[in-house]
């Protein structure tokens, strides 16, 4: 049994104000494997006070000092990669073969560092100086599906900006949050600059959202929870950055490489057992091509190897929890009840896996836009295939959603595909499976969120803007803001 009995506040490991713990369940074995300290509103008060004190000095550090700090964090993080990989396999069922979950965070740290090297915090508009300054104390609330990477993206850009932090990891991935705090401690992050308070959303998350000492809150999670965070933060007019749910559509145009589009859709949708907010969980296919596409979808879905995430041959582990397992199965049942055609997968557990929260890779065709599996975020390995009459119909169906996080288009004729890409109302669109870029912003339209993370715009989420007048001579030496 692993024990994580401490919070991390003001540079020290400390017991919660009220000694409490929560048990973490291994989703593969359905048994307790760790206990983690459970913080409270009183612990949030301690952490925020520490972050406020630290902000006075850390906000005035030079970019060079923060670059050196990030370099130290990268070095220490990379020395713990194997430990992170094993821990998230036990904690949330992510296979050790999914190396992007543990190598990606270091890449995001390097991107933030390199941007900081060239970023200008002062610019000129006419004879005025426009300064960008750190926003203050930032509450960072991270999810369990990308337990390290999402937390790292938030904290590394906050540190690059000169902000101080109170972080709350998801309770499902609280142990990896503790390990990340250990990395920052070993790297020599100054006391109070980074603080970790694990706990429930109702208690710790709510306390952070309402706290008058928190200047900004960055939250990644469901749209429902994001609405609660945003409403709470409004009481003190905090800056809010929200990355929320998605129901991303992949429009496969008639002139696309159908096999490539189908196989890519399965791999991207079912990556991480479908527990990804950007998953292309709606695939839109021309009505004359659906049977051809379905054969490729079934073949690719059946190539996943489900099993113990600690084994290198496993390509899909269990979903995170009993609650998630039930939610996904309820969505599969809704597809059956509402008349969709099940072409692979289903409600039964995978062969030979009678223990653990394992869900078969599942594909439905004959899905209509009004069905539950076409409208709600399943957050599991379930793909809904819909048909369209023409491209305008495809765009109408794709955009008929409260979400707008990601989108995908496959096609042959680039000019026509670009028109479809531009018509999708979502924050990130990929054509023919093109890889994303860590220098570019990530975020959503509509109920998929507010603000952006990553890249230059992600850094500027953590910066306030100040206009300064009366220093015309000094302003002339600066680059123009809108040059």
| Catalytic center residues | 243
Residue 433 neighbours by CB distance under 10 Å: 18
Question: Half-sphere exposure of 275 toward its Cβ, with a 13 Å CA cutoff?
Answer: 25
Rounded Cα distance, 18 and 210, in Å:
21
Residue for token pair 């145009």: 253
365 and 346 in contact (C-beta within 8 Å)? no
Rounded Cα distance, 202 and 49, in Å:
21
Rounded Cα distance, 250 and 480, in Å:
40
342 and 364 in contact (C-beta within 8 Å)? yes
147 and 87 in contact (C-beta within 8 Å)? no
**Which uninterrupted H or E stretch holds 414?**
helix 414-423
* 3 state SS of 148: coil
* 3 state SS of 60: coil
Give the single-character DSSP code of 329. Answer: H
Rounded Cα distance, 100 and 13, in Å:
29
Among residues 161, 170, 413, 426, the alpha carbon closest in space to that of 279 is found at 426
Q: Take residue 411 and report the two structure tokens written for it.
A: 């096609």
* 3 state SS of 460: helix
Rounded Cα distance, 300 and 286, in Å:
20
41 and 211 in contact (C-beta within 8 Å)? no
Which neighbouring-strand residues pair with 138?
165, 216
């Amino acid at each position: 049994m692993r024990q994580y009995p401490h919070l991390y506040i003001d540079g020290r490991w400390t017991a919660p104000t009220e000694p409490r713990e929560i048990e973490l369940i291994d989703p593969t074995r359905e048994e307790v494997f760790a206990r983690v300290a459970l913080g409270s509103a009183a612990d949030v008060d301690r952490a925020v006070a520490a972050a406020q004190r630290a902000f006075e000095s850390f906000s005035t550090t030079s970019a060079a000092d923060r670059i050196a700090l990030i370099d130290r964090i990268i070095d220490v993080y990379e020395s713990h990669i194997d430990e992170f990989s094993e821990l998230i396999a036990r904690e949330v069922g992510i296979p050790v073969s999914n190396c992007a979950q543990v190598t990606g965070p270091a890449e995001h740290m390097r991107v933030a560092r390199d941007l900081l090297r060239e970023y200008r915090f002062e610019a000129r508009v006419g004879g005025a100086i426009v300064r960008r300054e750190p926003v203050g104390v930032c509450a960072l609330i991270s999810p369990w599906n990308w337990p390290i990477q999402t937390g790292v993206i938030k904290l590394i850009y906050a540190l690059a900006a000169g902000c101080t932090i109170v972080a709350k990891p998801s309770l499902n991935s609280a142990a990896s949050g503790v390990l990340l705090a250990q990395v920052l401690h070993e790297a020599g992050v100054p006391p109070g600059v980074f603080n970790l308070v694990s706990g429930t959303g109702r208690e710790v998350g709510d306390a952070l959202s309402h706290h008058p000492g928190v200047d900004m809150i960055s939250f990644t999670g469901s749209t429902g929870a994001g609405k609660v965070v945003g409403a709470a933060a409004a009481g003190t007019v905090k800056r809010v950055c929200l990355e929320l749910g998605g129901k991303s559509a992949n429009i496969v145009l008639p002139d696309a490489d159908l096999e490539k589009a189908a196989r890519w859709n399965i791999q991207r949708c079912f990556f991480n057992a479908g527990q990804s907010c950007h998953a292309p969980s709606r695939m839109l296919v021309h009505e004359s091509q659906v049977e051809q596409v379905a054969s490729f979808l079934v073949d690719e879905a059946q190539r996943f190897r489900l099993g113990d995430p600690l084994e290198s041959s496993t390509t899909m582990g269990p979903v995170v929890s009993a609650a998630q397992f039930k939610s996904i199965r309820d969505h599969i049942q809704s597809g059956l009840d509402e008349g969709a055609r099940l072409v692979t997968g289903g409600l039964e557990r995978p062969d030979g896996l009678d223990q653990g929260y394992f869900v078969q890779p599942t594909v439905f065709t004959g899905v209509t836009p009004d069905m539950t599996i076409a409208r709600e975020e399943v957050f599991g390995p379930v793909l809904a295939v819909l048909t369209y009459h023409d491209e305008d119909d495809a765009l109408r169906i794709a955009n008929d959603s409260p979400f707008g996080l990601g989108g995908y288009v496959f096609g042959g004729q680039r000019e026509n595909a670009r028109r479809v890409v531009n018509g999708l109302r979502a924050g990130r669109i990929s054509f023919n499976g093109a890889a994303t870029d860590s220098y570019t912003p990530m975020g959503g339209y509509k109920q998929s969120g507010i603000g952006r993370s990553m890249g230059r715009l992600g850094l500027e989420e953590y910066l306030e803007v100040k206009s300064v007048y009366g220093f015309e001579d000094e302003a002339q030496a600066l680059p123009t803001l809108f040059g």
